[in-house]
Amino acid sequence: MRLDYLTIFPEFFDVLGISLLGKAVDNGIVDIHAHDLRTWTHDRHRTVDDTPCGGGAGMVMKPDPWGEAFDDLLGADPDPSVHVVIPTPSGTPFRQDDAAQLSHADRIVFCCGRYEGIDHRVIDYASEHWSVHELSLGDYVLNGGEVAALAMTEAIVRLVPGVLGNPESLSEESYSQDQEGLLEYPVYTRPASWRGWDVPEVLMSGHHGHIAQWRREQSRELTRRRRPDLLTDE
Ligand SMILES: COc1ccc2nc(C(=O)O)sc2c1
């Protein structure tokens, strides 16, 4: 899997060389390239923004640098197997299903906007050539797309075979299919008693059936309290 990031702050993505994702890069499972969008400017000030047509506050990112970056990175031939992810507050919510779908992609290009956003013709042009996903992390607004791209990258890449040491841990996580899309149950480790708080007895019983039932009950109760929207049968 090759990941490209178009941004005016490429140093944001230096962090991807650390920990699990760093190992995935070292192992050749993932190939990461961050690009400074200003590479595709031609004026002395390396300008990437301009005032919004129709007026309004702030600045809008000019289409030209994006178009030239696309030309260099992707060429002009349409290829639906290339996924262009545009983090934006107006995007559809990024969900685990999106991460699962994108984890099968061979090529993902993240377009990280700043200011008031990217000239919409860039999205229109990209949509004619590649598979475009306008996605939001959640119901809040960041200063740009970089942090969202990092979060989405981790959610996607950790699902790629060979990236996680123990793939079994994926099956017991919140939102995973094996968890019936429910929130993950509370977890404990040693010591059995800590500052007056004990590990639930059932987890110390060694009875796998009872433990599995307790965990299912915990997941459902937690989901009912915090995310009733995830419950399909209630
Ligand atoms: C201008 O580019 C932005 C600005 C805010 C923002 N907020 C996001 C979010 O997912 O919350 S993505 C994103 C992109």
Domains and CATH numbers, the chain: 1-156 (3.40.1280.10), 166-228 (1.10.1270.20)
* Annotated binding residue 141: yes
**143 C-alpha to ligand 1 centroid (Å):** 6
**130 C-alpha to ligand 1 centroid (Å):** 21
Question: Angle, to 10 degrees, between the axis of helix 120-129 and the axis of helix 63-74?
Answer: 20
What are the start-end ranges of the H helices in 138-188? 146-157, 168-171
Q: What's 110-128 look like in SS3?
A: EECCCCCCECHHHHHHHHH
Ligand 1, atom nearest to 136 Cα: 10
Q: What is the pLDDT along the chain (234 residues), one digit of tens a residue?
A: 999 999 999 999 999 988 878 899 999 999 999 999 999 999 999 999 999 999 999 999 999 999 999 999 999 999 999 999 999 999 999 999 999 999 999 999 999 999 999 999 999 999 999 999 999 999 999 999 999 999 999 999 999 999 987 766 676 677 776 677 899 999 999 999 999 999 999 999 999 999 999 999 999 999 999 999 999 875
**61 C-alpha to ligand 1 centroid (Å):** 13
- Choosing from 7, 88, 134, 152 the residue with most ligand 1 atoms within 8 A of its CB, the one to mutate for a pocket test is 88
- Ligand 1 contact, 181 CB (< 6 A): no
Q: In this predicted structure, what is the pLDDT of residue 177?
A: 66
- Ligand 1 contact, 59 CB (< 6 A): no
* Annotated binding residue 159: no
Q: In this predicted structure, what is the pLDDT of residue 17?
A: 86
Residue 34 φ/ψ, nearest 5 degrees: -105, 135
pTM above 0.90, yes or no: yes
- Ligand 1 contact, 20 CB (< 6 A): no
Q: Do residues 131 and 84 lie in contact, with contact meaning Cβ atoms separated by under 8 Å?
A: yes
Question: In one letter, which amino acid is 156?
Answer: I
- Ligand 1 contact, 52 CB (< 6 A): no
Q: How many CB atoms lie within 10 A of CB 101?
A: 15
